[in-house]
């Protein structure tokens, strides 16, 4: 028991001392546990009372919660019914709105479809028109290409100008007032001549040097334009000189000849940019004319021919007018005679109506058996005034008309 177990500092701890210390420690622990148990019992009783109080409060609060829950349930039911009614009304209104919107959308879609169909139909028609226009443009392109090929050839270009000039002359002048390829006394044959009242023909030449105009259009540099301008002046003046030498025959032809330019644009370009050529040609008694100016000249010549024919026929017109005046006088006499016959017929009709009235009155008396003497005098017989030589309403057969009547 006195065996040393360990040392605490310099103090030895034996087994007996350790057991005493352990027992004292156990006793202290038991005392502490008893004190704790006692205190915990008092605390459990207080806690039980507090829990009972809290249970009562919880029960009261639970009852209040149940009552509030029942009230909330009633309110929720009322709100549910109200919401159900509102929902039904809303559903009905939404359904009506949807039906209205559906109807409007249907009408709008139908109208849109109709408009779309109309637009597509119009677009189809426009496309057809565009196709026709494209076809016409293609044909026109082909014709323009052909015309360019024709104008590129000098002989074809001359035939084209000749045909256009002939068409203008044929449309404006009467038959016999013009001639194509007429031979002059010098043996020259102008493209066309128009016979004026003095029987001297006006010569028209349908050829024109178009190569110089083409070269002027194709020129790019100043040198090329200068050369093309000189060439144009030389070619046109040479042609003017040829026309003056060939087709201006003193005493046989007119003092002026026409040079036909088959293009309005070419004529306008020459007239605007080359006034010296126009003046020189005028002094050479050669007048340049475009298709429109040739039409105007043809109309003037047609009026001149018409005036000449009127002057030549003036005596015949005067004679015919005198004969017409004689016919009018005879017609006036015959109408006056016919008027007198109508007057006589009117008088006869009046007398007949008087007799018819008296006959009607006598028939009425006979129907009423009234045979009393009529104080009215009998109708005197009125002799008709008839001219001597007439029998009845019509005159004697008319005399034989003389010549000119």
What mean pLDDT do residues 264-276 have? 81
For the segment 278-332, what is each residue's pLDDT rounded down to a tens digit?
888 888 888 888 888 888 888 888 888 888 777 776 677 777 778 888 888 888 8
pLDDT confidence of residue 397:
44
On whether both 145 and 172 belong to a single domain, the answer is no
Residue 394 has pLDDT above 50, yes or no: no
pLDDT confidence of residue 389:
41
Q: According to the per-residue pLDDT averaged within each range, which of 196-200, 242-246, 391-395 is highest?
A: 242-246
**β-bridge pairing 4-8 and 11-14:** antiparallel
Domain that holds residue 130: 121-152
Q: What CA–CA distance (Å, rounded) separates 298 from 285?
A: 18
Residue 87 has pLDDT above 60, yes or no: yes
What are the backbone angles phi and psi of residue 157, rounded to the nearest 5°?
-65, -40
On whether both 257 and 133 belong to a single domain, the answer is no
User: Quick check: is 21 in a domain?
Assistant: no
Contacts of 262 (CB under 8 A, 6+ apart): 160, 161, 164, 165, 206, 208, 291
Angle at which helices 264-273 and 211-218 cross, to 10°: 70
On whether both 283 and 175 belong to a single domain, the answer is yes
Q: What CA–CA distance (Å, rounded) separates 156 from 150?
A: 5
On whether both 138 and 236 belong to a single domain, the answer is no
Residue 67 C-alpha from the chain's centroid: 85
pLDDT confidence of residue 390:
43
On whether both 189 and 281 belong to a single domain, the answer is yes
Q: CA Rg, the chain, in Å?
A: 69
Q: Residue 257: which H helix or E strand, with range?
A: strand 257-260
Residue 122 structure tokens: 């119009």
User: Quick check: is 176 in a domain?
Assistant: yes
Do the Cβ atoms of 172 and 299 come closer than 8 Å? yes
The 8-class DSSP code of residue 402 comes to: P
Q: What CA–CA distance (Å, rounded) separates 203 from 71?
A: 126
Q: Using alpha carbons, list the distances in angstroms from residue 147 to 12, 141, 215.
A: 148, 10, 18
Band (pLDDT 50/70/90 cuts) for residue 383 is very low
User: Quick check: is 325 in a domain?
Assistant: no
On whether both 165 and 287 belong to a single domain, the answer is yes
On whether both 132 and 199 belong to a single domain, the answer is no
Q: How many residues does the chain have?
A: 405
Q: Residue 327: which H helix or E strand, with range?
A: helix 314-368
On whether both 180 and 128 belong to a single domain, the answer is no
Do the Cβ atoms of 329 and 404 come closer than 8 Å? no
7 CB-contact burial (10 Å; exposed 0-12 / middle 13-18 / buried 19+): exposed
The 8-class DSSP code of residue 371 comes to: -
On whether both 126 and 174 belong to a single domain, the answer is no
Mean pLDDT score across all residues of the chain: 77
For the segment 335-373, what is each residue's pLDDT rounded down to a tens digit?
888 888 888 888 888 888 888 888 878 777 777 766 665
Terminal Cα-to-Cα distance of the chain (whole angstroms)? 202
Query: Which residue has better confidence, 141 or 381?
Result: 141
DSSP, collapsed to helix, strand or coil, labels residue 328 as helix
- Residue finishing a domain among 275, 298, 318: 318
Q: What CA–CA distance (Å, rounded) separates 192 from 176?
A: 12
On whether both 202 and 276 belong to a single domain, the answer is yes
What mean pLDDT do residues 130-140 have? 82
Q: What CA–CA distance (Å, rounded) separates 118 from 103?
A: 22
Band (pLDDT 50/70/90 cuts) for residue 401 is very low
Residue 152 has pLDDT above 70, yes or no: no
On whether both 129 and 255 belong to a single domain, the answer is no
User: Quick check: is 282 in a domain?
Assistant: yes
Query: Which residue has better confidence, 394 or 68?
Result: 68
On whether both 213 and 145 belong to a single domain, the answer is no
């Amino acid at each position: 028991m006195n065996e040393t177990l360990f040392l605490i500092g310099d103090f030895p701890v034996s087994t007996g001392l350790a057991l005493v210390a352990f027992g004292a420690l156990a006793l202290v622990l038991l005392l502490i546990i008893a004190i704790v148990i006692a205190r915990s019992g008092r605390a459990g009783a207080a806690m039980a009372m507090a829990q009972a109080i809290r249970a009562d409060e919880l029960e009261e609060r639970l009852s209040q919660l149940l009552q509030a829950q029942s009230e909330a349930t009633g309110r929720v039911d009322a709100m549910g019914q109200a919401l159900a009614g509102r929902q039904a009304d809303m559903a009905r209104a939404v359904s009506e709105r949807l039906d209205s919107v559906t109807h409007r959308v249907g009408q709008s879609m139908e109208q849109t479809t109709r408009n779309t169909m109309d637009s597509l139909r119009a677009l189809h028609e426009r496309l057809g028109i565009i196709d026709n226009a494209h076809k016409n443009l293609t044909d026109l392109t082909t014709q323009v290409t052909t015309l360019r090929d024709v104008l590129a050839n000098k002989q074809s270009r001359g035939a084209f100008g000749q045909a256009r000039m002939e068409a203008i002359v044929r449309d404006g002048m009467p038959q016999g007032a013009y001639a194509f390829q007429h031979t002059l006394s010098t043996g020259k044959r102008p493209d066309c001549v128009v016979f004026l009242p003095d029987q001297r023909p006006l010569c028209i030449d349908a050829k024109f040097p178009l190569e110089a105009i083409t070269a002027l259009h194709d020129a790019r540099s100043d040198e090329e334009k200068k050369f093309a301008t000189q060439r144009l002046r030389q070619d046109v003046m040479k042609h003017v000189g040829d026309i003056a030498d060939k087709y201006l025959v003193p005493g046989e032809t007119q003092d002026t000849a026409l040079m036909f330019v088959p293009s309005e644009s070419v004529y306008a370009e020459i007239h605007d940019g080359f006034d010296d050529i126009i003046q020189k040609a005028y002094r050479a008694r050669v007048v340049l004319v475009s298709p429109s100016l040739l039409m105007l000249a043809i109309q003037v010549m047609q009026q001149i021919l018409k005036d000449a024919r009127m002057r030549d026929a003036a005596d015949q017109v005067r004679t015919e007018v005198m004969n017409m005046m004689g016919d009018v006088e005879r017609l006036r006499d015959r109408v006056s005679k016919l008027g007198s016959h109508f007057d006589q017929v009117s008088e006869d009709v009046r007398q007949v109506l008087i007799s018819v009235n008296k006959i009607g009155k006598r028939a009425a008396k006979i129907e009423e058996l009234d045979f009393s003497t009529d104080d009215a005098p009998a109708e005197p017989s009125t002799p008709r005034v008839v001219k001597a030589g007439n029998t009845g309403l019509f005159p004697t057969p008319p005399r034989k008309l003389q010549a000119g009547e």
